[in-house]
Structure 1
Amino acid sequence: MVRQYCRWEPPQPGTFKLNVDGAIFQNQQSAGIGAILRDSKGEVLMAASKRESAVGDATSIEMLAILRGLQLTLHLGIQHLIIESDALTLVKEMQKTEPSMTLVGNVIRDTKELMSCFRVCDVRYTMRSCNEVAHKLARHAWQVTDISLWWGSVPDVIVPALWAERQL
């Protein structure tokens, strides 16, 4: 098996990138979401790990990660936002113009409504290896009671992943 590596790519100047991911903790019957917002220089503006209790499957938690990431960034006055997720099926569903008939259709509708608050807001697929920082934040939610937020700083749990991204 050939393992593909990729590198997180910064957005164009004036645009921000929000990477999100979800993780399910079967033995705790809960899940976690991770979100990281960066600018065109790769500087971290915000990082978050949030525990979620009522999540049934991987698609639901991945969708919730997008929604929560948007909720955390909406008040920042950002006009141009790219959201990256490693959930390909969900990204394709988000890119459709017609209403979603999936089980998470209502959350997709609510998320698209939040997206309309930005001048430009695109949801894009990224490979898992390019979304490692968001994944580590989602896994970190295992240790979080509700939410941990970092504004203008980074938690120790993602420092090695951020360093590795810069080396590729």
Structure 2
Amino acid sequence: MAPPSDHVKISCDASFCLNPLSVSAAAILRDSEGRIIGGHASLVNARSVEVAEALSIRMGLETAVKAGLHHIIVESDNFNLINRIVSKVQSFWETVALEEDILDLSSSFSSCSFVYIPRCCNQVADWVAKNFRSSACPRDWPTSVPPGLRNLL
């Protein structure tokens, strides 16, 4: 679902592979027309899915701050993480510091909301995270959208 016309949606996800340990985080910024207007993906140092997912949200917020955005909606398919951020109750020791960073960064915007979405609705962020982890996603994906990603938009 597209955000209101004055908002940007940030879809966040992480890709985690245990053997060998390989983790990536991705955040995709899209306008009310569904167009990619920015984003970031990177390999991250995380020993759990929870940490990787929190890193993807923090990365998305940092990207939005740098872009000078004012109204954002952050989406993730990690129900527990979104629930902790929304309730402002950091109860999971591995992600406490990241969640505090996320809440601090969220105050940089005129409006910022966090929304849980089912995994099936987070295919764009999932595609970028998985393909970036496996080196199948080009580094310039936000400006030159690869065909596999284009098919999901």
Verify same fold: TM over 0.5.
yes
Aligned-residue RMSD, C-alpha: 1.7
How far residue 129 of structure 1 moved from its aligned partner, in angstroms, is 0.9
* CA–CA separation in structure 1 for the residues paired with 2:150 and 2:20: 26
The share of aligned pairs that are identical, in percent, is 27
Identify the residue that residue 102 of structure 1 maps to in structure 2. 92
Radius of gyration: which is bigger?
1
Distance 1:32 1:157, change over 3 A: farther
* CA–CA separation in structure 2 for the residues paired with 1:84 and 1:17: 7
* 2:132 aligned with 1:141: yes
2:13 maps to which of 21, 28, 31: 21
- 8 A Cα contact 1:24 1:32, kept in partner: yes
| Residues 100-119 of structure 1: per-residue CA shift (max 9 Å, x gap) | 13121111001111111011
Identify the residue that residue 43 of structure 2 maps to in structure 1. 51
How far residue 135 of structure 1 moved from its aligned partner, in angstroms, is 0.2
- 8 A Cα contact 1:33 1:49, kept in partner: yes
Distance 1:82 1:49, change over 3 A: same
- Structure 1 segment 1-168 matched on structure 2, within 5 A: 9-52=1-44, 54-98=45-89, 100-103=90-93, 104-144=95-135, 148-162=139-153
- 8 A Cα contact 2:11 2:122, kept in partner: yes
One-letter amino acid of the structure 2 residue matched with residue 101 of structure 1? S
One-letter amino acid of the structure 2 residue matched with residue 31 of structure 1? V
Q: Which runs of 5+ in 2 are unaligned?
A: none
Q: Which runs of 5+ in 1 are unaligned?
A: 1-8, 163-168
Scaled by the length of structure 1, the TM-score of the pair is 0.83
- 8 A Cα contact 1:46 1:153, kept in partner: no
- 8 A Cα contact 2:40 2:59, kept in partner: no
Distance 1:155 1:71, change over 3 A: farther
* CA–CA separation in structure 2 for the residues paired with 1:142 and 1:115: 27
Q: Which structure exhibits the higher relative contact order, with contacts defined as CA atoms closer than 8 Å and separated by 6 or more residues?
A: 1
